[in-house]
Structure 1
């Protein structure tokens, strides 16, 4: 992505970048922004770049990347997101900044309160656009972009291109260059996938056994419900596995603390929901576990993509109960995977398996019709010449 996107961005062309997480997108859009800032930099900082992201975790991750890349530059940046007081953000904005990294909701609050002016922005990046659309932020993005001056370059990065992405691009981008870097399927195939069959009521017990018996040093565990995350953490800690969770109902400070402890390996397990996990980047994460299957195939690729990043090895384990057999098959078909199923000793499944589809027995009437049809097909057919002779005779 960096090799393809940076030269185009430096030419000030609009970009639609299609790439999975972990492909170096942050560097691809930050390097051109910093290059432009160096050229235009005055003594006072003026807001030149806006980066829109779906989650506060991703906002903080990008701000950290800016700090790394601009270590020897006089660049001022601010992260704007909810869950914390906006006063400190207002103060930084008032003192002048070069780059704003923001979630859409809090940015709209600042626009409403006239604490930010986007008219001087010349570079706009919308990162993880597909996630933003999944979270229902399309309308907010459409409200923000008109506040930016016409002389701007816009780069949109998404894991997939759908009709909504195309609509947004058509509305706000000018003759964009489309850059596609590998299919998500390519990355998913490089991960070591495992499926462990288990009854639904044995999943919690199996999770602890699995992490302990396989000696998994770090595991990012995905669930679909907040209450399920809380319950799992309680059970894991009771089993002697240090765990915490992040989801929408947990305060930002607590989420940040849990993520920091997990990265520093003070926690062995981090349980999270899909939305809270977007933007999480953990170096050399060895294992992702799907405690429950996600709602969509795209979410599955986002989940397993947390491991095996930047060329490292990684394992994705799915705990599969009977109710999810069908959807798991759909995921495998779409991603062209064939993952072997296994059962662990002591956790053999007892749930009733779905019966293979049996052909519907034919009625007596159908059997008679079929028999007549076969008899007709078995009769010798007249040759073409015979048919012609008959016609001639009739004439």
Structure 2
């Protein structure tokens, strides 16, 4: 199937030309015609492949073919939400909202935004003016629904963006409550970087005779990202990271850690090493998070230390280096982490630090990648093989290996609940 942006509405073509979009990416080429045809879609796409445009452009095109909301005098403005995009985090909500506004800049279509962590009132005021498209996190959307501040009776398109992360964060209860308030006759699009049993179970509940679109092998890392694993003692990880950044003269480095406390502690220590470093995590206010991200994008902050949840939706086009300071407990998070680099066809580097007792976490990642990640030592930072495995890692190793086997055999594993 061939497709070019020239098949879209002139209004959209004008915006795309200003954004220097010339040819569709593979996910856009496959998904846009299917969405335009009205089919439900289950699409697998890595971050950085242009997946937002893959659903945003056809949604906007279809809305432009309909009478604009501003011309309707029979239905109150707040009843005219016709497309709903559900996302797991506020950062991703802002990113998707910005993309929709860029694509729709020459039209009269209105795009609303609803996410937690900030005051309700500005978002409520915007909704009262009427929106055609609403980008929302599940928790904040439910708040608005309970207050009867938004009406979804006219909805005809529902999008789940990064559906795998929504399930990982425990949003299933919120999703079920939202679904009860939506028209049964609608088009539903599900986009996910990884496909698990939980995702396929959700798709059977949400989608009707969907078209399956996969532009890469299932659950794979971006092919443009070079992956390296350094074996190093846990107490020398920070030293190694600072050495790499300084000696390689890297700028805009994103580092992933497991905990909020770990993010703050690592950022403080790296500042002592002379590297301008900031931390971003869920305990930071929305304003603080936005300031840190802007400083990172502008280059004022050289290194950003983030937890997995806080990093969702971070879009730094020129980001070249991602470092896994801590290996993730959920193996699929590895794919999301390194997907922050190597975006839009650019090359990237993903470095993972592994210390004694963490081998089982790497093995679980290799199971979902279906490939081995070669391990190496960096001269001067060789691990001390005489050390014993820390007791806290011994205690979790058996449980983690059982979970790795479960994943290998397609069994479900438990997730922690978190509400945004």
Q: For this structure pair, what is the TM-score category when the shorter chain's length is used for normalisation? A: 0.7 to 0.9
Q: 1:201 to 1:6 in 2, by over 3 A?
A: same
The aligned counterpart of 1:221 is 255
Q: 1:188 to 1:4 in 2, by over 3 A?
A: closer
Q: Partners in 1 of 2:345 and 2:85 — Cα distance?
A: 26
1:127 matched to 2:141? The reply is: no
1:43 matched to 2:70? The reply is: yes
The aligned counterpart of 2:34 is 8
Counterpart secondary structure, 2:136:
strand
1:249 matched to 2:278? The reply is: no
Q: Partners in 1 of 2:48 and 2:182 — Cα distance?
A: 29
Which sections of structure 2, spanning at least 5 residues, go unmatched? 1-26, 72-76, 390-420
The aligned counterpart of 1:327 is 361
1:167 matched to 2:201? The reply is: yes
Q: Partners in 2 of 1:5 and 1:252 — Cα distance?
A: 33
The aligned counterpart of 2:412 is none
Among residues 14, 17, 20, which one is paired with 2:46 in the alignment?
20
Q: 1:86 to 1:337 in 2, by over 3 A?
A: same
Shift of 1:60: 0.3
The aligned counterpart of 1:236 is 270
CA contact (8 A) 2:49 2:345 kept: no
1:296 matched to 2:322? The reply is: no
Q: Partners in 2 of 1:255 and 1:237 — Cα distance?
A: 18
Counterpart secondary structure, 1:288:
strand
Q: Deviations over 1:207-265 (max 9, x none)?
A: 21221112111210000011110001111111111111111111111111111111111
Among residues 200, 204, 219, which one is paired with 2:238 in the alignment?
204
Q: Deviations over 1:117-163 (max 9, x none)?
A: 11111111110000000000011111102211233111011123333
Q: 1:262 to 1:288 in 2, by over 3 A?
A: same
CA contact (8 A) 1:18 1:160 kept: yes
Q: Deviations over 1:19-70 (max 9, x none)?
A: 2222211111111111122122142552111000000000000111012111
Alignment of 1:151-166 (within 5 A): 151-166=185-200
Alignment of 1:309-324 (within 5 A): 309-324=343-358
Q: 1:119 to 1:237 in 2, by over 3 A?
A: same
1:89 matched to 2:123? The reply is: yes
Shift of 1:354: 7.9
Point out the more displaced range, 166-175 or 138-147. 166-175
Q: 1:173 to 1:330 in 2, by over 3 A?
A: closer
Normalised TM-score (structure 2): 0.81
Structure with bigger gyration radius: 1
CA contact (8 A) 2:91 2:314 kept: yes
The aligned counterpart of 1:367 is none
CA contact (8 A) 1:19 1:183 kept: no
Q: Partners in 1 of 2:235 and 2:43 — Cα distance?
A: 42
The aligned counterpart of 1:29 is 55
Shift of 1:204: 1.7
The aligned counterpart of 2:312 is 278
Shift of 1:330: 3.9
The aligned counterpart of 1:62 is 96
Counterpart secondary structure, 1:193:
strand
CA contact (8 A) 1:189 1:337 kept: no
Counterpart secondary structure, 1:43:
helix
Counterpart secondary structure, 1:154:
strand
Count of aligned pairs: 355
Point out the more displaced range, 267-276 or 70-79. 70-79
Q: Deviations over 1:354-377 (max 9, x none)?
A: 89xxxxxxxxxxxxxxxxxxxxxx
Q: Partners in 1 of 2:241 and 2:196 — Cα distance?
A: 36
Shift of 1:98: 1.0
Q: Partners in 1 of 2:206 and 2:158 — Cα distance?
A: 11
Q: 1:183 to 1:196 in 2, by over 3 A?
A: same
The aligned counterpart of 2:398 is none
The aligned counterpart of 2:141 is 107
Q: Partners in 2 of 1:256 and 1:201 — Cα distance?
A: 31
The aligned counterpart of 2:87 is 53
CA RMSD after TM alignment: 1.8
